Amino acid sequence: MVRVGLAMLQGARHEHVQALGVASKQLGLDVEIVELRTGNQVDDRLDCLVLPGGESTAMRKASQSESLLSALFSWIQEHPQRPVLGTCAGAILLANPGDDMRSFLRAEISRNAWGRQRDSFEADVTLSLETPSAGDFSPHKASRDQFNHQPLPVEISENDREELFPGVFIRAPRFVQSSIDCTPVAFLGEEIVGVLDGQCLALTFHPELTGDYRFHRWLLHQSLLTN
């Protein structure tokens, strides 16, 4: 059983629930998703974490009353061997935890650096990360959850284009290329758009909005290896 802690502050969190559900079936793994809303839900029994994309300022504000972010950052510090997936705003939080905390990434990130919301785009990203294969489970279209959310898959089926990944960049940040001193794992042309530092995987795009669950499988698989 893998227990995944998912930060439910704001943003594309329901899509991560869906993606983790499919990824767990693809790997034939039992997974419990712990929806984290307060700091005191963050405990040692979590095997890995997901910090979704959305709006990092809104997330910081939403965290204030229940101290979720500070608990998550302490957890990451205390469990450097356990994997963390931060997508878009989640990557911003990993790079800039705030409150005088050291970055979890040896890379600087610049918010909204592609421009405004209307400058959002989709483009193929090249991957350089080993991810476990999907087995023969194929996902069905996601149905609505109890909050009436229905994830919007950009691409229904995972394609088998090997290193290519459907990158969804929504008012995305950019890594300051000259600052990157950890492992690049995703590229948009020449530009690095995903990095791995220790067990923290930070992507400036939104894999949870696609039907390609490689990063979610990586997280679950990595959780097994490190526990």
Site size for ligand GLN (CB under 6 A): 12
Q: Considering only residues 69 through 108, tell me which ones interact with ligand GLN, judged by CB under 6 A.
A: 88-89, 92
Q: What distance in Å separates the CA atoms of residue 98 and residue 73, rounded to the nearest whole number?
A: 10
The verdict on 193 binding ligand GLN (CB under 6 A) reads no
Strand, coil or helix: what is 14? helix
The verdict on 207 binding ligand GLN (CB under 6 A) reads no
What is the closest distance, in whole angstroms, from the C-beta atom of residue 38 to ligand GLN in the complex? 21
Of 79 and 206, CB closest to ligand GLN: 206
182 carries an active-site annotation: no
Provide Rg for the chain, Cα atoms.
16
The verdict on 112 binding ligand GLN (CB under 6 A) reads yes
Extract the tokens encoding 99.
């409150």
14 carries an active-site annotation: no
88 carries an active-site annotation: yes
| Given 14, 16, 208, 216, the catalytic residue | 208
57: number of Cβ within 10 Å: 12
18, 26, 56, 131: which one contacts ligand GLN (CB under 6 A)? 56
Extract the tokens encoding 196.
């791995």
Q: What are phi and psi of 188, to 5 degrees?
A: -110, 100
Q: What distance in Å separates the CA atoms of residue 107 and residue 5, rounded to the nearest whole number?
A: 24
DSSP code, position 119:
G
4, 22, 49, 54: which one contacts ligand GLN (CB under 6 A)? 54
- The one-letter amino acid at 46: L
Residues that bind ligand GLN (CB under 6 A): 53-56, 88-89, 92, 111-112, 170-172
Catalytic residues: 88, 206, 208
